[in-house]
Amino acid sequence: APCSQTLAGQAGLAPNFCAPPAYTLGFSGFWTSKAERHEISQHLPVEFIGRQGTISKTSMDARRGCFIRSSVNVDQYFTVENIVRSGETISSWGFAERIGGKGANAAVAVSKAGGHAYFSGLIDNQSGWLKEILSGFGVDVDGLKIYDGSSKLPTGRAIIQVSHETGENAIILVPGTNHAPPQFWPELESILIPTKYSHVLLQNEIPMAQTVLTSKTAHSLGITTIFNPSPLPSLDEVKEVVDWSCIDWLVVNEEEARMLRDRATTRNRTNDQLEHDQITELDQELEVLQDLISLSLATFSIVITLGSRGSLLAFRRNSSLWTGFHTPASPGNRPVVNTTGAGDCFTGFLVAELIRLETDQIPRDHLLEKLKQSMQVANQAARLCVETHGTIDSYPSLEEVKTHLLSNKS
């Protein structure tokens, strides 16, 4: 049978390399044993051997999904005339409880984008309605467990004051069960299964130890890991705790990108170079992107979201050369009314696109164009999100996104 040069080939496989029988080339995959990895690696150029040049024994007919170990909150909204001041007691004009948390937001976005989302987290025994809501959006919640510790931690909370006059808000976060001790979290060994998950999405609203453990476990299984570190890790966590070699995709906004670059400046730099079209108005952002690449803060791709200016993506072409491109923001039909959760919407849609790219056998010479299309989808989803009030309620469906993309071209 002829060799199928797929997306993995662009990321590192030799041009004429053909997978052994019963294996399928994929965007990511897993090695069934160290011996097999050594055997197969003999066919690959030494400088290209890496996790994105792997061979997956999983049939592409059974599409895998995204495992999300992250936060889920009860968001409590208080509508007030003005944000309360020190020593002041005021009455609320309205109150509402909604589901929140970056993990829950992203899981819903993956699902609405047509991907399979599996959520792993902790809630208290009074918050079963959160599971029902996530399940109603198509998210698999088998990994969302009831915290049964003796300390009676509540489900994570966001207590949000929203000014009726100005729209400004003030937020108090209560980590609650999102920061439960390690022994109460579901064991990864029993649920993180490579034949079920092709991607892992991690954020930063759970203990860093959980994030690091999950990234290392996923790495050992050959599962592609996307890290959206918001809020940013501390200086010590960036330098000493996070194992950046286990991060395949890094997704940050422009402010996070600069701060992360500054916190990582003591790391050893590589000679990796970024090639890209000249974009004068983005010189500073491209410089930051180059710094993140040379500081080795991801093994395959880095995305910087730029709000109303679109997004930047760089991906590894070979051992030392990366290709970068800019995707302009999608035009909007209505004014921006709410940016809450827009970053999670973008990330979720991007992850769903990556799952599709892995499932499809993409010729290597089509990779760049396919990645550009994926970024357009994520940009358009985020744009539609900010035109509507609410968080997950504002997330569009994949069909809505496609419809708007087509109308933008006409």
* 3-state SS, residue 292: helix
User: How far apart, in whole angstroms, are the C-alpha atoms of residue 345 and residue 160?
Assistant: 20
Rg (CA), the chain: 21
d(CA 52, CA 7): 9
394 CB contacts (<8 Å, ≥6 apart)?
A: 338, 341, 345, 384, 385, 386, 387, 388
pLDDT of residue 63: 61
DSSP assignment of 177-243 equals: GGG--GGGSPPHHHH--TTTEEEEEE-SSS-HHHHHHHHHHHHHTT-EEEE--SSPPPHHIIIII--
Rounded to 5 degrees, what are φ and ψ at 9? -60, -40
Question: Within the chain, which residues score under 70 in pLDDT?
Answer: 1-63, 410
Which numeric CATH code is attached to 59-72+102-154+178-265+278-408? Answer: 3.40.1190.20
Q: What is the pLDDT of residue 407?
A: 87
Read off the pLDDT of residues 142-166 as tens digits, 9 standing for 90 and up.
Answer: 999 999 887 889 999 999 998 888 7
Q: What is the pLDDT of residue 410?
A: 67
Predicted confidence (pLDDT) per residue in 14-49, tens digit: 223 233 333 222 333 333 333 433 333 333 332 222
What does pTM read for this prediction? 0.83
Count CA atoms closer than 13 A to 291's CA, side-chain side. Answer: 19
Determine how many CB atoms are found less than 10 A away from the CB of residue 290: 19
C-alpha torsion angle, residues 196, 202, 208, 212 (rounded to 10): 50
Residue 121: count other Cβ atoms within 10 Å of its Cβ: 32
pLDDT of residue 189: 86
pLDDT of residue 156: 97
Predicted confidence at residue 116, as pLDDT, reads: 97
